[in-house]
Amino acid sequence: MHGKIRQIVTCVLLLMALAPAAAQATAVPDNPTVRIGLYFGDGALPSANLENSTGSGYRFGYFDADRDFHQLGTTDDTQITMLKNKNMYLSGGAYSETPSPSAVAVGCYHIQLPGSYATYAGARTAANARSGAFPVWISGAYSVRVGAYTSKEAAQAAQAALNLSGSTIAGPGDDVVTVANTRTGEVLFQFDGGSSAALAIQPGLDDAVKTTTWFKGYRYYGAFQYRRLDGGNLTVVNFVLLEDYIKGILPYEMGSSWPLEALKAQAVCARTYTVMNLGKHDTYGFDLCNTTDCQVYHGVNGANSNSDRAVEETKGVYVWYHGELAQTFYFSCDGGGTESCGNVWNEDIPYLKGVSDPYEASVSSKISQYHWTVTYTASELKSILQKNSCACADIVNFYVSQRTDTGNVYSIAFEDSNGKTYTFSKQQVRNLLGLRSARYEIGGGNSGYYVDGMGTKLDTVSGLYAINGSGNTAVIGEAPYVVTGTGESQILTPGASGKDTYTVSGSGWGHLIGMSQWGAYAMASQGKTYDQILTFYFTGITIQ
C-alpha cells in the first residue's frame, strides 16, 4: 500500500518537473466595461425613468461592439424617460400603456419632415424652429419629426392643418425608442437603430464628474442601454466599469458591514466570476443578470466605505489556476464541509475540491437556519418520486446510500414495498426534495441501525468506531460488515421500525462548491486574510 502511494507521488513529481516552469497568465483588460441586465425577458419595461443624482443632463447615443459610447445628442433635462414607440400615457408622473382622460398622450405616429441632417446640432436647430418637433436618428442619419399622435388619422389631420408639404407619416417602429421629459411628456429625441444598434444613455455632460443616476429606486454608476428585443418592451442594461460593478455586488452578496477581509475575498471571487462569464446572457444582449442566477447587484445604494475599500484594495486581482482564470463559485454556508464539483455537477475541476470547514461553525449563531430539519411522510416521498417519473409503490425505506470524503451526501436511496430501490445522486440529493444543502442525515422511518437486542437505534453509523481482535479501533465506513456467531460476515443493514415519518436534519445552504461566504466571515473574524480565505476554499490556486 505505502509502496503504491510512493509510486504515485513519484509520477506526480515527474509530471511537475516536465510541466513548464511558469504558465503564462491570460491577460485581462484593465477595468473593462461590463453589461449587466437590470430588466429583461418578462420583466422588460414599457418605459424607464432616469434621474440625475451626481452629474447633470444626459447624452444620447449607442455602444459599439467594443463597448465604446458614440454620442449623438444631449439634453440638459435631469429627469428623462425612455419609452417604447407605442401609444403611451403620462398621468400622475408615471407613464403607462392605458389611456386615461387626464393623461398626456405620447403617441407613436409622427410627421416626418423632408430632408436629413449630418449632425445632431443641425437637426436640433431645425427642430427648434417648430413647436413639438424633435430630432430622430435613423441608422446613421438625422431627420426632424413633429408631434406624437395616437393614430395615423390624427397625424394626417395635423399634417394637413400645418400644411407640411413633402412630409410623411412615421408610424410605430419595432426598434424605435423615444426619449421624453419625464414630467411634461415632451419628446426630446428618437432613436431607430434597426436591429443592430440600441439606444444608450450616458448620464452627465461633464467628463470630470463621475455620475450616479437614480433608476427605479436604486443609484447606479455608468450608462444605460434600451433594446427592444422582437419589438417588445425595453431590455434595460447597465454599462458599468467592472470595479464599480463589484462595489454594487458586495452589499447584496455579503453585507457592507462584514469583516473587510471577507469582503475582499468576495470581491476577488465576484470579479473573477464576472470576467469568466462575460456574454453568459448574450441572447438578451448583456453579460450577466442582476439576480442570484448570476450575482445580485443593485448599483451603489448599499455600498459604504468599508465595502468600497474591499474592492479598491483588491483592484484588478483575480483567482488563477495554472495560468488561467478560475471558476470562483461561492455560496452562503457549507454546514461543515464544502464539496468537490464533480460530486455535484458533472465536471471535476481540480481547484473546486471539497474541504472540511473548521471555521464556519464558530459563527453559526449569526446564520439564519444554519441547522435545518424537514420531515416527510412515506406517502409524501412516494408522491415526490412519482412526480419525478418513478413508478414506485409505497416507500418503506429512505436512507443515505453514499457519502463524499467531506461527509456530504452523494447518493440517497428509496426502497418501495415491491423491494425495488430508486437511487438519486449528485445535485439530485438536494434538488429532488428542495433541501437547503447536501449536508444532512436522514432519521426516523426504517433507516436506523439496531445495535443491541433492546431496541437501541442509531440513525447513522457515521462517527462510530469498530474494534478488532487486537484492540485496534477505526472509524466505521459507509457500508460496514458485521460477523455473526457462526463466523459469516454480512453487510450491516438498517433495521425496521415501522415508522412512517422521515426526518432530514442538515446544515448549510447552497451548492457547497467553492467559497462559503459565512466561512469567509468566520475566517476573517479569526484574523485570516483574504488570500488565506481564498486558498483555503479553492485548492491550488494563485491570487494576482
The residue count for binding Zn ion (CB under 5 A) is 3
Distance between CA 408 and CA 398 in Å, rounded? 16
CA distances from 85 to 106, 148, 176, 232, 288 (A): 9, 10, 6, 10, 27
Beta-carbon contacts of 347 under 8 Å, excluding residues fewer than 6 positions away, are 341
Stretch of 54-62, 287-295, 359-367, 501-509 lying at the interface with Zn ion (CB under 5 A): 287-295
As measured in angstroms, the least distance from the Cβ of 242 to Zn ion is 16
Stretch of 80-88, 281-289, 475-483, 508-516 lying at the interface with Zn ion (CB under 5 A): 281-289
As measured in angstroms, the least distance from the Cβ of 281 to Zn ion is 6
Give Cα 144 to chain centroid, integer Å: 42
As measured in angstroms, the least distance from the Cβ of 292 to Zn ion is 8
Q: Look at strands 330-331 and 515-516 and give their pairing.
A: parallel
Output b/e per residue, 382-398; b: 16+ Cβ within 10 A.
bebbeeeeeebeebbbb
Q: Which residue has the cell 442601454?
A: 225
Distance between CA 272 and CA 265 in Å, rounded? 11
Stretch of 72-80, 219-227, 235-243, 290-298 lying at the interface with Zn ion (CB under 5 A): 290-298
As measured in angstroms, the least distance from the Cβ of 316 to Zn ion is 24
Is the distance from CB of 523 to CB of 359 less than 8 angstroms?
yes
Q: Does 293 bind Zn ion (CB under 5 A)?
A: yes
Per-residue DSSP letters for 392-436? ---EEEEEEEEE-TTS-EEEEEEEETTS-EEEEETTHHHHTTT-S
As measured in angstroms, the least distance from the Cβ of 379 to Zn ion is 37
SS3 of 504-542: EEEECECCCCCEEHHHHHHHHHCCCCHHHHHHHHCCCCE
Is the distance from CB of 44 to CB of 235 less than 8 angstroms?
yes
228 three-state secondary structure: strand
Considering only residues 35 to 64 of the shown chain, the ones binding Zn ion according to CB under 5 A are none
- Among residues 287 and 416, whose Cβ is nearest to Zn ion? 287
Per-residue contact string for residues 234-273; x = within reach of Zn ion by CB under 5 A: ----------------------------------------
148 three-state secondary structure: strand
As measured in angstroms, the least distance from the Cβ of 287 to Zn ion is 9
- Among residues 152 and 280, whose Cβ is nearest to Zn ion? 280
As measured in angstroms, the least distance from the Cβ of 297 to Zn ion is 10
Per-residue contact string for residues 294-333; x = within reach of Zn ion by CB under 5 A: x---------------------------------------
- Among residues 30 and 293, whose Cβ is nearest to Zn ion? 293
- Among residues 229 and 294, whose Cβ is nearest to Zn ion? 294
As measured in angstroms, the least distance from the Cβ of 36 to Zn ion is 9
- Among residues 294 and 349, whose Cβ is nearest to Zn ion? 294
Residue selected from 289, 303, 326, 395 as contacting Zn ion according to rule CB under 5 A = 289
Q: Provide φ and ψ at 369, rounded to 5°.
A: 55, 45
As measured in angstroms, the least distance from the Cβ of 239 to Zn ion is 17
Distance between CA 165 and CA 83 in Å, rounded? 29
246 three-state secondary structure: helix
DSSP 22: S
Stretch of 25-33, 252-260, 284-292, 351-359 lying at the interface with Zn ion (CB under 5 A): 284-292
As measured in angstroms, the least distance from the Cβ of 286 to Zn ion is 9
- Among residues 211 and 225, whose Cβ is nearest to Zn ion? 225
Burial class (CB in 10 A: 0-12, 13-18, 19+), 461: middle
Stretch of 195-203, 230-238, 282-290, 415-423 lying at the interface with Zn ion (CB under 5 A): 282-290
Stretch of 4-12, 289-297, 366-374, 377-385 lying at the interface with Zn ion (CB under 5 A): 289-297
- Among residues 282 and 478, whose Cβ is nearest to Zn ion? 282
Binding site for Zn ion (CB under 5 A): 289, 293-294
